[in-house]
Amino acid sequence: MALMVVKPAQRSTGIAMDRPLPNKRTNYLPMVFGALALIGAIAAIAALLPRGLSVTEGELRIATVQQGLFRDDVLVRATAAPLHTVMLDALETGRVEDVVVRDGTVVNKGDLLFRLSNPQLRLNLVARQADRTQQVSNLSNMRVAMETSQSDHERRVLDLTFAVAQARRLHARYVSLRDSGYISASMFEDSEDKLNQQEQALTAENTRFAIEMHIKRDAVRQMQQAIAQLDSGLQVVSESIQALAVRAPMGGRLTGFQLQVGEIVEPKQHIGRIDDPDRFKLLADVDEFYLGRVSSGERGRATADGHEYDVVVSRVFPQVTEGRFSVELLFTGEAPAEMSPGESVETRVALGRTTPALILPNDAYLNDTGGTWVFAVARDGKRAERRNIRIGRRNNSQIEVIGGLAAGARVIVSSYSAFGKAKRLQIAR
């Protein structure tokens, strides 16, 4: 039988697995060089890219700030209008029966223009005439009644006065007889009562007649007033009938007159107008920027047919419509020999004296910035940046610069609408 020899187990120490490792060092140089190369590339690209919005020089208008003379005036395009105009409006309703003149005719004051017919007005006139006749007849009857009452009163007064006189004489005799004792006391008292009665009757008659005449005179006065009112109404109706024959209220040229026979005309209907053919005024619309500076009495010059004429602002209409207000100008001396309504006239209105100032052109950029900032062009002409400025007066071609720019500075004066909110521009040639 074979015997197995068992060897005791050996403890594992791990020494056989431990091996020396090589010593490794991190090399950062390639990373540094790579980062520097990337930064350099970015800087090179940034240097090549334009700074700000790129624009083409040919699309811009550039002006230079100059020291010059500022003309404190405003240039407007005025329109010629007749100095005096009378509007023709219908006062009565009627049918056109006859048209005597035509549009464009020169008429004199009082010339017949057209006739209307209105049967209702004539019926109204007849009715008022009948009412007046009736009232006049009533007034006449009342006056006859007053005369009759006056006659009756005078007759009664005569009778009563005679009765009073008789009673007074009888009573006087009874006084002497009573003193002599020939009549009794009762007879004397009867005589005295009779005298008092007759005197009271006379007084009552006068009082009654005075009251009666006061009432009748008041009635006559009221009737006279009624007749006067009827006369006024008749006058109005008569004038209305006369107005059916429409005449020119002034001499001049008839304009906008297009009535036709048979046409019905209504009250307040505009029929046309009469213009003064020889004298004209000018009407102009002015930017609201000048509203506080234009006033009546300002002088100006109007250019027509190659000649200049002195004008003066006669009226200012301060109502602003679509950013503009209106002014009226009159010729102060010689006026153009021939003008037509609606003719355009270039007019320059002086607002102050011509004075030295820093000047920029009045151009489209003002509409975009309101004159608070501009794009100032660099010396090399390749860049432009926003610059805040302050402006003073301005006219149609100039603005006065009072801050933010010096003489010689170059400014983009064309429209800024295409630049959006850009603060810098890169100008490409």
Predicted TM-score (pTM) of the model is: 0.52
18 CB-near residues (< 8 Å, 6+ apart): none
pLDDT of residue 19 exceeding 60: no
CB 95 within 8 A of CB 116: yes
| One-character DSSP codes across 391-422 | EEEE-SSEEEEEES--TT-EEE-S--GGGTT-
Contact 298, 312 (CB under 8 A): yes
Side-chain half-sphere CA neighbours of 10 within 13 A: 4
pLDDT above 90 for 388:
yes
Which one has a higher pLDDT value, 122 or 36?
122
pLDDT band at 51 (very low <50, low <70, confident <90, very high): low
Within 10 angstroms of residue 21's Cβ, the number of other Cβ atoms is: 6
pLDDT of residue 9: 44
CA 101 to chain centre: 33
Give Cα separations from 236 to 116, 205, 292, 406 (angstroms). Answer: 17, 46, 49, 76
Of the chain, the percentage scoring pLDDT greater than 70 comes to 89
Checking if the pLDDT of 137 tops 70, the result is yes
Answer whether 116's CB lies under 8 Å from 262's CB. no
Phi and psi at 337, nearest 5°, equal -65, -35
Q: Considering only 45-54, 140-149, 275-284, which range has the smallest mean pLDDT?
A: 45-54
Task: Output the pLDDT for position 26.
Answer: 52
Instruction: State which CATH number among 2.40.30.10, 1.20.120.1750, 2.40.50.100, 3.40.50.300 fits the domain covering 88-116+245-273.
Output: 2.40.50.100
Q: Please report the pLDDT score of residue 16 as a whole number.
A: 46
Digit-coded pLDDT (tens) for 319-348 = 999 989 999 999 998 888 878 888 888 998
Do the Cβ atoms of 343 and 282 come closer than 8 Å?
no
Where are the domains positioned within the chain? Answer: 53-71+355-428, 74-83+279-350, 88-116+245-273, 119-243
pLDDT at 386: 93
What's the whole-number mean pLDDT along residues 253-257?
88
What stretches of 219-363 adopt beta strand conformation (E)?
245-247, 252-255, 264-265, 270-275, 280-287, 299-304, 307-321, 324-331, 344-350, 355-361
290, two tokens? 């000048």
Q: What is the mean pLDDT of the chain?
A: 84
Q: Extract the tokens encoding 318.
A: 């301060």
C-beta separation of 64 from 363 below 8 A:
no
Asked: is 74-83+279-350 a CATH 2.40.30.170 domain? The reply is yes
Rounded to whole angstroms, the Cα distance separating 9 from 11 reads 7
The answer on pLDDT for 247 being more than 80 is yes
Interval 188-245: pLDDT, tens: 888 888 889 988 989 998 999 899 889 888 988 998 888 888 888 888 888 888 878 8
Domain 119-243 has CATH 1.10.287: yes
Q: Which CATH architecture has domain 53-71+355-428?
A: Beta Barrel (2.40)
Confidence (pLDDT) at 407? 92
Measuring CA to CA, which residue among 87, 94, 79 is closest to residue 255?
87
Segment 46-56 shows an average pLDDT of: 65
158-187: pLDDT as tens digits = 988 998 888 888 888 888 887 777 777 788
